[in-house]
């Protein structure tokens, strides 16, 4: 976009139209600069976030592996205590099933506590009523 200088009028001042065009160009330049700054900052942040997310993924995977190994160790601990191996693994699985059931019930009770956003609904109704009064 070519930069056009403001041409002063006979009184020596630019016209309102020229001032508006100049303000629009300057505003667009400021916005472009801010967008470029945000892109540069986000580029650095995205790189750090990607590394962090990858490390969380690896940590989660290692946590699952550790959980599996500890479950096997618990089952073999029961075998060492005298249980048949099949029964020992069933006991460990049963404990996990009971834990999952308890967590599911607690989660369901927490979800039942969720209520609709009453204040937002009331605010929307007021806005709708105000707009319908203003439009008629």
3-state SS of 2-45? Answer: CCCCCCCCCCCCCCHHHHHHHHHHHHHHHHHHHHHHHHHHHHHH
Task: Express each pLDDT in 83-133 by its tens digit.
Answer: 999 999 999 999 999 999 999 999 999 999 988 888 888 888 888 888 888
Answer for the pair 59, 53: CB distance below 8 angstroms, yes or no: no
**CA–CA gap between residue 25 and residue 16 (Å, rounded):** 14
Task: Express each pLDDT in 31-48 by its tens digit.
Answer: 888 888 888 888 878 888
What pTM does this model have? 0.55
What's the distance, CA 64 to chain centroid? 24
Domain coordinates of the chain in residue numbers? 12-82, 84-136
């Amino acid at each position: 976009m070519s930069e056009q200088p403001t041409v002063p009028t006979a009184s020596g001042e630019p016209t309102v139209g020229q001032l508006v065009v100049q303000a629009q160009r300057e505003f667009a330049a400021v916005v472009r600069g801010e967008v470029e700054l945000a892109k540069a900052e986000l580029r650095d942040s995205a790189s750090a976030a990607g590394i962090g997310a990858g490390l969380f993924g690896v940590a989660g995977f290692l946590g699952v592996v550790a959980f599996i190994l500890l479950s096997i160790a618990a089952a073999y601990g029961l075998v060492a205590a005298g249980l048949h191996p099949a029964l020992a693994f069933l006991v460990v699985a049963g404990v996990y099933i009971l834990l999952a059931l308890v967590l599911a019930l607690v989660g369901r009770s927490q979800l039942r506590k969720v209520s609709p956003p009453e204040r937002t609904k009331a605010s929307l109704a007021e806005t709708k009523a105000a707009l319908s009064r203003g439009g008629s």
